[in-house]
């Protein structure tokens, strides 16, 4: 079986990276990580990749005169490794339109909200301030605008009355670790395809409706 070749970009500890590493450790999973690339020297996620026998590289953004040459160096490293799909996993750099365009429909991100709600930072505090009953996370193809692009997969997480941004973030993170590998699987098997600015997922069943608080509760 030919496996989709992944490159994962990180800036820190890489918990979503670890979820992808764990999924790819299954020989039956239709993708493999061929490169983990960090923009921060010594990023903790590099150690996780090395322990799993995955090639790593560091492209320090501080060594470049601007975003364009930095992004060009990223692309050079990714293409040298034969990467077919780029996964952002806590990569804390804004990418240039040139990079996003070069990797169009081959570049995905995970964001800790139910996009298009709460793009950007402080998602959990903003959701709690608005009194939402559900938060969640989204895996999407990347476009030039921040946290915009065709949605592949989402997970909804109930919000508790006593939640803090920290407790809600921890609950959402558990779902992130579940859906990021699943989104990669859907792409690798060809079940998820981009049509315009939407993603069609072949064979996906509609889940049951969920209510929070429960009816009659």
Q: Report, as residue numbers or ranges, the catalytic residues.
A: 111
As beta bridge partners, residue 192 has 201
In whole angstroms, what is the distance from residue 182 CA to residue 87 CA?
13
In whole angstroms, what is the distance from residue 56 CA to residue 22 CA?
17
Phi-psi category of residue 97: left, alpha or beta, with phi > 0 → left and psi -120 to 50 → alpha: alpha
Residue (of 153, 142, 147) closest to 118 by Cα position: 147
111 contacts 147 by C-beta, under 8 angstroms? yes
Burial label, 145 (beta-carbon count in 10 A; 0-12, 13-18, 19+): exposed
The SS3 call for residue 151 is strand
Residue (of 114, 121, 125) closest to 94 by Cα position: 121
């Amino acid at each position: 079986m030919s496996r989709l070749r992944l490159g994962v970009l990180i800036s820190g500890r890489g918990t979503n990276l670890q979820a992808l590493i764990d999924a790819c450790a299954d020989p039956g999973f239709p993708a493999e990580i061929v490169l983990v690339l960090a923009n921060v020297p010594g990023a903790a996620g590099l150690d996780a990749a090395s322990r799993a026998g995955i090639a790593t590289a560091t492209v320090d953004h501080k060594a470049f005169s601007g975003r364009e040459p930095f992004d060009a160096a990223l692309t050079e490293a990714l293409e040298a490794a034969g990467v077919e799909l780029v996964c952002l996993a806590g990569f804390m750099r804004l990418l240039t339109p040139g990079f996003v365009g070069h990797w169009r429909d081959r570049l995905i991100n995970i964001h800790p909200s139910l996009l298009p709600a709460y793009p950007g930072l402080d998602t959990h505090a903003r959701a709690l301030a608005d009194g939402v009953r559900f938060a969640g996370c989204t895996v999407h193809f990347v476009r030039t605008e921040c946290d915009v692009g065709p949605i592949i997969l989402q997970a909804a997480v109930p919000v508790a009355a006593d939640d803090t941004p920290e407790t809600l973030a921890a609950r959402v993170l558990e779902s992130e670790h579940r859906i990021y590998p699943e989104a990669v699987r859907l792409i690798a098997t060809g079940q998820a395809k981009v049509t315009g600015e939407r993603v069609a997922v072949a064979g996906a069943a509609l889940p049951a409706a969920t209510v929070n608080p429960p009816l009659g509760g």
